[in-house]
Amino acid sequence: MNELPLGWLFTLLGLLILFSAFFSSSETGMLSLNRFRLKHLANEGHRGAKLAQRLLKKPETLISVILIGNNLVNIAAASLATVIAIRLMPGNQDLALAASTVVLTFVVLIFAEVTPKTLAQRHPERISFIAAYPLRVFATLLAPAVWLVNHIVKAIFWLMRVGHRKASSESISPEELKTIVYESSATLPQDKQSMLLGILELENVTVDDIMVPRNEVAGIDMEGTVEEIADSIRQTEYTRFPLYKGDVDKVIGILHIRDAAEFLYADSPSKVMLTKAAKDPYFVPEGTRLHTQLMNFQSQQLRMALVVDEYGDIQGLVTLEDLLEEIVGEFTTDQANSNKEVHPQRDGSYVIDGTASIRDINKLLNWDLPTDGPKTLNGLILEQVEAIPDANLSLKIGNYLIEILQINDNAVIAARLTSLELE
């Protein structure tokens, strides 16, 4: 090598630095690839993606190939730089060695480490899909060395009592999937993002959270007169409603409004017309997850269910529409009707009915009232004070100030809520 011209030596050194940059960028690029996008591109038939995916299936082999190649070229570059330095400063070898070490370290750091790795981190696909082809060739050429290195490493792990690496799984949890959906806001429309998050949230929400409470269930009492029943049907705003005898717990069927036509227009209407037209009630236990209930509605081909507790007492009513609204949002565009339980005040506070659902309050006002206990505002207040409170009592829950305005029948009818975060 001492006989080679300096020009050749500098050229060879430059090639070694380029090889070092290639191995450095390949390592960063491969490890920075989005595995899910990589799988998508591979399924679409992208050749570079397929090859990169094949290499990443054996990460130990890939890392060994890259590190062996990188160390070989770096050591060769260091030796060559020493030769060049000695040729340039023949009279002072110590200075030549020091100079070659400092200069080569700076050159390798800038041109073979920081620059290529930063570039690969910014454009991992562009770098990795091109690098995959030469890496496959290097994997074949360096196979004996890779085999030897990997077995030595395994022996070291065995001596250190380090267990085997667990097989990696490409599956992701619902929480991780939510994060992916959140992070895709730049490319995913807001309405689609909300729908996806709504679907993922079904697993954490139960029928108790969205049901119409028992005291708000609108049904038809079959113990009334025929005229009273007919008036109730004509005045109802619902398509389906339960029929019961005297008490909601005594439901005898679910009636669709179209099936009441014969009763309404008959010359001699009778209650039997309604009971024959009604379908058997469908009951679900409280605490049923919404994703389970959605499948139940689909399998049973039903759109309404009555929620019962462990004693069989009816706690409320849930419909398919209520469940779908958790995914796509409110169907109604009548804001006055949808917000009828929440009344904004000029001072920034809100007068809210005690029967209002805490989840609905949080969604409407973008608040964070606790939802892991009672489902209604009345229940939340009673849980906090642990007694039947007096009117005008004030309490603080988290960052929210609550003033009780009206109490009736041992329940909070209305309360004023103020978010302290706004102050």
Angstrom distances, CA of residue 163 to CA of 149, 155, 158, 159, 206: 18, 11, 8, 10, 41
- Could you say which DSSP state residue 108 is in? I
Q: Which of 399, 352, 403, 400 is nearest to 376 (CA)?
A: 352
Cβ atoms 226, 270 nearer than 8 A: yes
Query: What is the model's pLDDT at position 338?
Result: 47
Percent of the chain with pLDDT strictly greater than 90? 50
Query: What is the model's pLDDT at position 63?
Result: 92
Model confidence pLDDT, tens digit, residues 179-214: 777 777 777 787 787 788 888 888 888 898 888 888
Query: What is the model's pLDDT at position 245?
Result: 93
pTM for the structure as a whole: 0.59
Which regions in the chain score pLDDT beneath 50? Answer: 333-338
Degrees (nearest 5) of the Cα angle 386, 387, 390?
130
As a whole number of angstroms, the distance between CA 169 and CA 332 comes to 43
As a whole number of angstroms, the distance between CA 356 and CA 333 comes to 19
Query: What is the model's pLDDT at position 333?
Result: 45
DSSP secondary structure string for all residues of 112-124: IIIHHHHHHHHSH
Cβ atoms 265, 216 nearer than 8 A: no
The amino acid at 172: I
Model confidence pLDDT, tens digit, residues 336-383: 344 678 999 998 899 999 988 888 898 889 899 998 888 889 999 999
